[in-house]
Amino acid sequence: MPFPLANPNNAIRPDFTTEEHADARQQLIDNGIPEAQVSAVLTNLWTQTNEKEKIRWATRLEEEALAEAEAQTRATEEEAQRQKELDDEDAKFLQEEQSGLRPLSRTEVTKRIANIAATHNMPNLKGHSLRIGGTLHYLLRGTPFDVVKSMGRWAGDSFTLYLRQHAVILAPYLTDRPDILDRVTRYTMPPVR
């Protein structure tokens, strides 16, 4: 059975003694109901039907409120999780001071990486290793060469020479991404003479 379109709580009980409801009254009289009771019967029928509609309406409102509350709870939990992940990610590159949090300097980042490498018995990564790692990171994400070049503060053709010299290091990562491999190859090929 479909839900009522209008809130039955706002419905006003009609006056079944008026001329507007004469046909309904006559139908009941024809079915053997005494004329004195016809208005009361119509009122009772209307009230019972309206009460059922009120119950259905209330149930519908409760279901909608519950669904909205669940959606809000889910959204809140997802936002809290996202914020926690962001906070965890930010914490890796921030240092707490009396005035608040501040970004780590290059020296501090290098020290943290050295500590992490020592803790896990890994080779210590120096600036050059980080530079090639950063270059690879951005190239694999499709960042244009000129943007990577400016981010790394590369001068002149040194960026192109760097990519040529480190093709052996970059190749295993780029073979899985033919679109990027093609762009790197075209970018690093020496000019035709």
* Cα dihedral 119→121→123→126 (10° resolution): 0
Contacts (Cβ under 8 Å, ≥6 apart) of 39: 16, 17, 25
Q: Could you identify the residue written with the tokens 């020479």?
A: 161
* Burial state string for 101-131 with b = 16 or more CB within 10 A and e = fewer than 16: eeeeeeeeebeebeeeeeeeeeeeeeeeeee
Q: Which of 152, 121, 159 is nearest to 137 (CA)?
A: 152
Q: What is the pLDDT of residue 14?
A: 65
- Give the domain ranges of the chain: 8-99, 106-188
Contact 43, 21 (CB under 8 A): no
Report how far residue 142's alpha carbon sits from residue 136's, in angstroms, rounded to the nearest whole number.
10
Q: What's the confidence (pLDDT) of residue 81?
A: 85
103/130 Cα distance (integer angstroms): 18
Query: What are the DSSP calls for 119-179, one per residue?
Result: HTT-PPP-HHHHHHHHHHHHHHTT--HHHHHHHTT--TTHHHHHHHHTHHHHHHHHTT-HH
Q: What is the pLDDT along the chain (193 residues), one digit of tens a residue?
A: 454 556 555 566 666 677 777 777 777 777 777 777 777 777 777 777 777 777 787 788 888 889 999 999 999 998 888 777 767 666 677 777 777 778 878 788 888 888 888 898 888 777 667 777 777 788 778 888 788 888 877 777 777 777 777 777 777 777 888 888 888 888 777 777 7
What H or E segment, with its residue span, contains residue 17?
Answer: none
At residue 1, the pLDDT reads 43
Place of tokens 């120096």: 126
DSSP-derived secondary structure for 89-128: HHHTTEEEETTEEEEPPHHHHHHHHHHHHHHTT-PPP-HH
Q: Is the pTM of this model over 0.75?
A: no
